[in-house]
Structure 1
Amino acid sequence: MRRRMGTDHHNRTGFGMKTDPITLELMRNRWTGIAEEMCAALIRTSYSTNIKDRRDCSAAIVQPSGEILAQAESGVPLHLGVMPGVVRSILEAYPVSAMRPGDVYITNLPYPEGPGHLPDVSLVSAIFHEQRPVALAASTAHHVDMGGFAPGSMPFGVTEIYQEGLQIPPLPIFKAGRLDEEIYRLINQNVRTQYEVRGDLMAQFACAQIGQQRVSELMSRESPDEVVRYMDEIQDYAERRMRAGIRSLPDGAYAFEDYLDDDGVTDTPVKIAVTLTISGDELRADFSGCSDQVLGPLNARLPAAASCISYVCKAVIDPDLPACAGAYRPLDIFAPEGSILQATYPAAIGNANILTDQRVVDVLMGALYHAAPDRVCAACSGEMNLVNIGGIDPGTGDYYNYVETYAGGQGAMSDLDGEDGVHTHLTNTRNAPVEIMERTYPLRVERYGLIPDTEGPGRRRGGCGMMRELKCLGERTIITLGSDRRKYTPWGLEGGGNATGAHCYVIDTEGREKEIPTKTHTELYRNEILRIETPGGGGWGDPAEREAERVEEDVRNGLVSPERAGEHYRCAKDRGS
């Protein structure tokens, strides 16, 4: 399936008639500020640790045509990239002309296009000024449970989306500002963490209300017609900048491929391959070389792949580019129907966000290395390292569900070391504070820190991965893990070395340690310990060229052992380290 990213309504080459560049910039920042305030309201009023502490949510302002106008840059890049598909799905079922003040629409359905997996619940509502719809408010938040086979609704051991959880097609969840209790009762009956889900849903409603309030204030201060006109000018301005950025790259076709270790059901590696074609001021991403869709829950839909290409182009070509639909009009994307990136219903899809999409970003970076080597990084950890722990809280008797993605190493760049233990690429979430975890869940953090010697060696080294040990305090705990890069470790560039991969272990009450698959659904019992080790990031350049003072600093900080320094870095050998 092929998709042109963005709708080319204008195709202008300069500022429109009577367009003031200063006013344009002010308007652009006002819209971005509204989106940021919407996202902040969602975070402040949410109930679950995953949103209020980890900030696994996003918000955007959308034009009535369905084009994204402004996004909260504090949001999750993957959410924001699939938001256009979410809005299209809502508008196909409920056109703007049928919307009324206070109506809010909900969906979590990835098919045919929508959020990346079922826990990502999206709300869309029209924003009115003087009874006229002038914009849409949209938000996506990762809810801690949407029912299904296992707590957290992202299980392995499943082959269909039916097993993953409750599927919500576009529906009006709020009518005239009031929650539709009939629809909500259906949702409530199917989720384990009912208190958190309702609270987070109301937080998304508050997010929409802030959007309505701030846009109304803007329309009251300025000429409504001018505000609407500058919406289109912002889109055209972003398009011009993206086209200029693409023109700065050499024309050509650039290919790259990588593999996921397996799909969690079979041992067959999953190929992710792309050919990027740059021609003048346009860029096309062709994913024809990817594996067919798989049995396990690593399948994705084209909006997720579009999210990856839009993120990479912004990061590599113009990091300060306005994050709106106009910026992506010069981009074209293709993936065959029935492939891993354009799976057909009802293929399982729950962990594509966590694993597949991150690997797509690494592959895109690898392809762009041939066109812009100084602007890309080596492979990052290549995954979000999902840890999902659920069960009955022995203190309350209620269901709980802890979900978190663990940081890994960032890939090095030509002039920068990779960051240690950091979320990269499509995730922009925080780590859950230990004190919050231990207060909220029947879990205890036994160990937490960076893992020495996990970096990809290089003139600029990759970042180190991290380790966390969790002791389960409940009688029976259900665990879902989603990691990768055990076999196909994060690669380096320009002679840089590969980083180490992911590993997961269970330590029983006798202290016996057992390695378990990185993609698994299993159980732990009271006082057993789960240890997660995340991959590092690939290195850049010949390790022998790394400056002695940098190697010595890494050894002093405990990030590189003297033995590893002597093995990989010439300066250490020369000094007899």
Structure 2
Amino acid sequence: MRDMDEIRLQVMWNRLISVVEEQAMTLLRTAFSTSVREAGDLSAGVYNARGEMLAQAVTGTPGHVNTMAEAVMHFIAEIPSESMYPGDTYVTNDPWKGTGHLHDITMVTPSFKGDELIGFFACTAHVVDVGGRGFGADGQSVYEEGIQIPIMKFAERGEVNQDLLRILRLNVREPNQVIGDFHSLAACNDVGHKRLLEMLDEAGLDNLERLGAFILSRTHTAIMERLEALPRGTWSNDMLTDGYDEPVKLAVSISISDGGLGVDFSGTAAMSRWGINVPLIYAKAYACYALKSVIAPDIPNNAASLAVFNVSSPTNILNAERPAPVSVRHVIGHMVPDLVLGALAQALPGKVLAEGAAALWNVHISARPTADSEGRRAEVLMFNSGGMGARPTLDGLSATAFPSGVHTMPIEATEHTGPIVVWRKELRPASGGAGKYRGGLGQIIEIAPADGHEFNFSAMFDRITAPARGRDGGQHGAPGSVTLDDGTPLRPKGWQHVPAGRRLVLQLPGGGGFGEPNERSREACESDQVKGYVTEDRS
């Protein structure tokens, strides 16, 4: 009977994962912003009544999922249980209590079965605009970066807070898209709640306690077994990133002991005066993701598997304090996995991939008609990816978003949102670092204003002065560059202008190679030549 009961709980666990997948797919199907609808820049999950994450949707990014796992606790701390009612939905974009910057909206919905609070559903998505300076690194405090929404009720007993919507409409450039996404987020949680009640009724359960205890206990046992197999000790790593106007040093030490795995960012550069700072909640999210992807990639991501990682830092660019500007926190934050994995590679030689492009090459375009034409204004957001680092037994993936995992938005969908033309989007030859296994290739992208238009764009790029490093003898990936089509160099970060008739040219960085280049097989070298992945002077 005990074996049958455990099988039944395992089936229900799988069913719970399908519930949160449907929750995430609801957001994908109903979102207004292309960054959500096309790129999957979101997360969704279900929590027990204490706010512990039980299951997450596979669809989504680590930066959203792992910050959301902590964020739900902040909601519970600020909204007492006696003030929670069926039909409620709560919201925030607080960078320090949500997901690290103002553009991410986190919504949490209490789940009631009858009069009993049995858990929570939460979701996060990046919206196209939150006012202020726009999505970019130019702000010098969080107050410049957009509207701040404290943890509050988006809806109470099913009634949407119309005052909040009116405030939003007056503070953002694309009110219809933004408010549409708010409703999509709320609907996403509602779908999860309904499917959960159906599942519990079918199983004859009153709440999530028994299933949750099974999930967390099994996960804890599995993750501790993986930790027990790791060597004991402390290892350190550091790296340079481009920063805003000067290089920024990131540093980490990893300690593995019987009690768990500690990560410490001491030695990292001080907070920046520009909007590239990272709240610790976001740095923790990507540190945990990196470690888990190597140590226990097959173990479910939930409160129990995350609890074994202890991430700490003094105040610095990876633990920025309010009111530091944090709009572009993802650029430095996406470097955290390469930083952490560089230390882990010393403990697990031959098992960790090389560095990659890491940070997304996001570009936020604010298009407008020229003075002598009648066109339209629009805010356009593109997600673009460089190459991944080579893996211990395989080449790196080209034009792939690691560690974020978001998709590249189709050109057609991007052009539909505003008056721009993408003239070129192709793999960048010779950008992957040479090695026994080659680094992934970056891309070359050319974007121009449509006829009668010009645009300003926010550059959010890195790996231009500090390329991805190879591992175990592998060579560095090619650095990136950003110019106009006439060769005029542009800055890797900050708002800049592309006049009518000119094109913005982005050459995205490649990933580092793994192993000695002279150990690469002849067949692989010939294949690279045939496909145009390398040139004669770079193999």
Q: TM-score range by the shorter chain?
A: over 0.9
Instruction: Tell me the equivalent position of 1:372.
Output: 348
CA contact (8 A) 1:103 1:177 kept: yes
> C-alpha deviations, 1:269-289, integer Å up to 9, x for none?
211111100012510001111
Residues 402-460 of structure 1: CA deviation (Å, up to 9, x unaligned): 112211111011111001111111x1211111122222210111111001011111000
- Kindly tell me: are residues 165 and 19 of structure 1, through their superposed partners in 2, closer, same or farther at Cα, counting changes over 3 Å? farther
Cα deviation per residue 1:537-575 (whole Å; 9 max; x = unaligned)?
A: 01001001111110110011001012323xxxxxxxxxx
Per-residue deviation, 1:486: 1.3
- 2:398 maps to a residue whose letter is D
Q: Secondary structure at the match of 1:218?
A: helix
Which moves more between the two structures, 457-466 or 521-530? 521-530
**Does the C-alpha gap of structure 1 residues 396 and 95 become closer, same or farther in structure 2, counting only changes over 3 Å?**
farther
Aligned partner of 1:127 in structure 2 is: 111
- 1:228 shift after superposition: 2.0
1:555 and 2:529 aligned: yes
Query: In the alignment, is residue 383 of structure 1 matched against residue 359 of structure 2?
Result: yes
TM-score normalized by the length of structure 1? 0.90
Q: 2:323 aligns to what?
A: 346
Pick the aligned partner of 1:140 from 124, 137, 141: 124
Corresponding position: 1:38 with 2:38:
no
Identity of aligned residues (%): 31
Aligned match of 1:322: 300
1:102 equivalenced with 2:87 (yes/no) = yes
Match of 1:14 in 2: none
Work out whether residues 291 and 341 of structure 2, in 8 Å CA contact, stay in contact via their aligned partners in 1: no
Offset at 1:397?
A: 6.1
Q: Helix, strand or coil: the match of 2:186?
A: helix
- Matching residue's letter, 1:448: K
Match of 1:12 in 2: none
Mapping of 1:486-505 within 5 angstroms? 486-505=464-483
Q: Is the 8 A contact 2:39 2:383 kept in 1?
A: no
Displacement after TM superposition at 1:227 (Å): 4.0
Change (3 A) 1:19 1:239: farther
Match of 1:544 in 2: 518
Amino acid at match of 1:360: V
Contact 1:192 1:399 in 2 (8 A): no
- SS in structure 2 at match of 1:370: helix
* Matched-pair contact (CA < 8 Å) for 1:274–1:287: yes
Matched, 1:118 2:102: yes
What is the SS of the residue equivalent to 2:463?
coil
Q: CA separation of 1:365/1:280 partners in 2, compared to 1, >3 Å: closer, same or farther?
A: same
Instruction: State the alpha-carbon separation in 1 of the partners of residues 382 and 308 from structure 2.
Output: 35
* Shift in CA distance, 225/177, structure 1 to aligned 2, threshold 3 Å: closer
1:178 is aligned to 2:155: no
Counterpart secondary structure, 1:347: coil
Q: Is the 8 A contact 1:83 1:114 kept in 2?
A: yes
Partner amino acid for 1:525? Answer: P
CA distance in 1, matches of 2:374, 2:68: 37
Determine the structure 2 residue equivalent to 1:192.
173
The alpha-carbon deviation at position 375 of structure 1 amounts to 3.1
Matches within 5 A, 1:251-266: 251-262=232-243, 264=244, 266=245
Contact 1:137 1:211 in 2 (8 A): yes
Question: Secondary structure in 2 aligned to 1:498?
Answer: coil
Task: Name the amino acid aligned to 2:518.
Answer: A
User: Which residue of structure 2 lines up, in the alignment, with residue 11 of structure 1?
Assistant: none
Q: Amino acid of the residue matched to residue 134 of structure 1?
A: I
Aligned residues of 2:363 and 2:382 also touching (Cα < 8 A)? yes
Contact 1:381 1:411 in 2 (8 A): yes
Secondary structure of 2:170's counterpart equals helix
Matched residues, number: 535
Aligned partner of 2:497 in structure 1 is: 523
C-alpha separation between the residues in 2 aligned to 1:210 and 1:396? 43
- Whole-Å separation in 2 of the counterparts to 1:457 and 1:100: 58
2:379 is aligned, of 397, 401, 412, to 401
Shift, 1:193, TM fit: 0.7
Matched with 2:273 is 295
Q: Does 1:248 align with 2:224?
A: no
Compute the displacement of 1:174 (Å). 1.3
Does structure 2 retain, via aligned residues, the 8 Å contact 1:407–1:422? yes
Amino acid at match of 1:216: L
Q: Which runs of structure 2 are paired with 1:205-224 in the superposition (5 Å)?
A: 205-224=186-205
- Counterparts of 1:431 and 1:409, CA distance in 2: 13
- In structure 2, how many angstroms separate the alpha carbons of the residues matched to 1:303 and 1:26? 32
| Equivalent runs, 1:13-92 vs 2, <5 Å | 20-92=5-77
* Structure 1 partner of 2:253: 275
For 2:414, the equivalent position in structure 1 comes to 437
CA contact (8 A) 2:44 2:122 kept: yes
TM-score (normalizing by structure 2): 0.96
Task: State the SS of the aligned residue for 1:272.
Answer: strand
1:242 and 1:328 in contact (8 A); partners too: no
1:291 deviates by 1.1
8 A contact 1:148–1:165 mirrored in 2: yes
**Residue correspondence of structure 1 range 156-171 to structure 2 within 5 A:** 156-171=137-152
Assess, with a 3 A threshold, how the Cα gap between structure 1 residues 190 and 562 changes in structure 2: closer, same or farther: same
Q: Which amino acid aligns with 1:272?
A: L
Alignment partners' CA distance in 1, 2:230 and 2:156: 49
Mapped partners of 2:470, 2:227: distance in 1 = 25
| Structure 2 residue identity aligned to 1:311 | Y
Indicate conservation of the 8 Å contact 1:193/1:399, yes or no: no
* Contact 2:419 2:453 (C-alpha < 8 Å) held by counterparts: no
> 1:116 offset after TM fit, Å?
1.5
Cα distance in 2 between the residues matched to 1:477 and 1:95: 47
- Which residue, out of 443, 453, 462, partners 2:430? 453
**Structure-1 separation of matches of 2:387 and 2:336:** 17
Amino acid at match of 2:311: I
Inter-partner Cα distance in structure 2 for 1:479 and 1:352: 18
Q: Deviations over 1:4-41 (max 9, x none)?
A: xxxxxxxxxxxxx9894323322221221111100000
> Is the CA contact (8 Å cut-off) linking 2:35 and 2:383 kept in structure 1?
no
Contact 1:64–1:96, Cα closer than 8 Å, also in 2 = no
Partner SS, residue 189 of structure 2: helix
Q: How far, CA to CA, are the matches of 2:143 and 2:367 in structure 1?
A: 21
SS at 2:176's partner residue? helix
1:502 alignment partner AA: G
Equivalent runs, 1:456-495 vs 2, <5 Å: 456-473=433-450, 475-495=453-473
- Give the aligned CA root-mean-square deviation in angstroms: 1.7
Counterpart amino acid of 1:505?
Answer: T
**Offset of residue 85 of structure 1:** 2.9
In 1, the alpha carbon distance for the partners of 2:367 and 2:112 equals 43
Q: Give the match's secondary structure for 2:35.
A: helix
Q: Kindly state the Cα deviation for residue 396 of structure 1 after the two structures are TM-superposed.
A: 8.8
Does the aligned pair in 2 maintain the 1:475–1:526 contact within 8 Å? yes
Distance, in Å, in 2 between the alignment partners of 1:119 and 1:206 is: 19
SS of residue matched to 1:564 = coil
Q: In structure 2, what is the Cα distance between the partners aligned to 1:421 and 1:163?
A: 33
CA–CA separation in structure 1 for the residues paired with 2:219 and 2:162 = 41
Q: Deviations over 1:30-88 (max 9, x none)?
A: 22111110000001011121111112111111112111111111111110010023212
